[in-house]
Amino acid sequence: MRSLPALASVVSNLQVTNPQVEVQIDRDRAAAAGVSVSDIESALYDAYGSSQVSTIYTPSNQYWVVLELLPEFQRDPNALGMLYVRSAAGPLVQLASVATLTPAVGPLSVNHAGQQPAVTLSFDTRPGVSLGLATSQIDDLARRALPASVTASYAGNAQTFQSTQSSLLALLLVAIFVIYLVLGILYESFVHPLTILTGLPFAAFGALLTLWVLRVELNVYGYVGLLLLVGIVKKNAIMMIDFAIERERTEHVPAATAIAEAAAVRFRPIMMTTFAALAGALPIALGVGAGAATRRPLGLVVVGGLAFSQLVTLYVTPVFYAYFDTLPYRLSERRRRWSAAWHRAGRRTRTVFPATEGD
C-alpha cells in the first residue's frame, strides 16, 4: 500500500516484535515414543497456562491450585526443551526429542474484528487525490495480493464514503423514477415522460465531463448538484413538451410541426431559466468565499451539466418527441404485418385430410 501513488502515511497496528518459540512436532518420532500431539499440548498448557488441578476448601474460603513452571523457568526459552511428556507406555519423554524448538517473533497483540483476528491499516490520501481513487487502487491491490482466506473491508471515513456513494446513487435513481411517475400521471402517457427525461443523460455527461476536466472528485455535494440538475433540465423539456401537446390536442397540428414551434416559442423562457441557474451556480463553481472549496463540485456539476445539455436539448428533445409520437403506430403496424404473415404461413402449411366413411 505504501507503493500506491494515491496513498500517504500508511501505518499498521500489527507489530511483529514479540519474541516467541515455535514448537514443530515430529509426528513420526512422537508416535514411535508413544506420545500424541494432545499429550504435548497438555504438557505445554500445564507448564505455561493456567491449568487448575485442584481446589483447597477452608471454613471461610476456597483456593484454586494452579499447575505451572516457576517464573524463572517460564522466562527461559532453553527450559522449554527440558519439559517431559508422559508417553502412553508410562515413561517420560523429553520434549526436545520429539519436537524442534525455533526462536522467532510474533505479533505483540492479536486484535479482532467480530470473532476473527484482524489487522487495521490506516492511510491518508495525497494532496489532490480523491478518496474514491484511493479505495479503487486498494481494491485492485487486494485482489492481486491477498489470498482467498483473507477478507478485506473498510472502516472509518472510507466505509462512510462507500456507503454514502451507494445510497446517493440509489436516491438519484429513485428521484428519476418518481419524476417519471408524476409526469406519467400529469400527461396520462407512458411516452411523454420518457421524452422529457431524454435530456438527463446529456446533462449528466456534461457534469461528469466538467469534473473530470477540472480534476475534481464527485462527492456528496456533487450528487446534490446532480439532483438539482435533474429538476432544471426536466423543467426546460416540460416547457417544450407541454406547448407541443397543447398544439396537437387543440389545433390537431402534426407532432413534428408542433414540437418545432414549441422549440422556437419556448426558446426565450428556456434560456432565461438556464442563465438564471447558471448565474446562481457560477459563484459556487468558482469557489468564492470561505469553505467554498468543499461546495465547488455542486456548482461545477450544475454549470457543466446545464451548459452541455442546453446545447443539445433544443435539438434532441424534438427528435425524440417526433419519434415517440409515431412509435405506437409503427408498433401496431408491425404487429399487423406479423399477424398477416403468420396467417399466410399457416394457410400454406395446412394439411387437409379426405373424409372417410363414418365421419
Q: DSSP code of 118?
A: -
pLDDT of 127 reads 82
pLDDT of residue 282 exceeding 50:
yes
Nearest to 237 by CA among 169, 187, 284: 187
Pairing of strands 84-86, 92-94: antiparallel
Give pTM, 2 decimals: 0.55
Residue 348 confidence class, pLDDT cut points 50, 70, 90: low
Q: DSSP code of 272?
A: H
pLDDT of 61 reads 92
Cell of 309: 445539455
Backbone angles phi, psi at 5, to 5 degrees: -70, -20
What is the radius of gyration, based on Cα positions, of the chain? Answer: 38
Q: DSSP code of 161?
A: H
pLDDT of residue 219 exceeding 80:
no
> What whole-number percentage of the chain has pLDDT above 90?
3
> What whole-number percentage of the chain has pLDDT above 70?
91
Domain range annotation of the chain: 1-16+107-145, 22-106, 160-337
Superfamily of domain 160-337: Multidrug efflux transporter AcrB transmembrane domain (1.20.1640.10)
pLDDT of 317 reads 83
pLDDT of residue 333 exceeding 80:
no
**What is the arithmetic mean of pLDDT over 129-139?**
83
Residue 329 confidence class, pLDDT cut points 50, 70, 90: low
Of the listed ranges 108-112, 162-166, 302-306, the one predicted with least confidence = 162-166
Helix, strand, coil fractions of the chain, as percent rounded to 5:
60, 15, 25
Of the listed ranges 185-199, 227-241, 342-356, the one predicted with least confidence = 342-356
CA dist 216 and 225 (Å) reads: 13
pLDDT of residue 356 exceeding 60:
no
pLDDT of residue 57 exceeding 90:
yes
pLDDT in tens, 141-167: 999 999 988 888 888 877 777 777 777
**What is the arithmetic mean of pLDDT over 324-342?**
70
Long-range contacts of 131-137 (CB under 8 A, 24+ apart): 131/157, 131/158, 131/161, 131/217, 132/161, 132/165, 132/217, 132/218, 133/6, 133/217, 134/4, 134/6, 134/7, 134/158, 135/161, 135/162, 137/4, 137/5, 137/6, 137/7
Cell of 213: 476536466
CATH 3.30.2090.10: does it fit domain 22-106? yes
Residue 359 confidence class, pLDDT cut points 50, 70, 90: very low
pLDDT of residue 302 exceeding 50:
yes
pLDDT of 56 reads 93
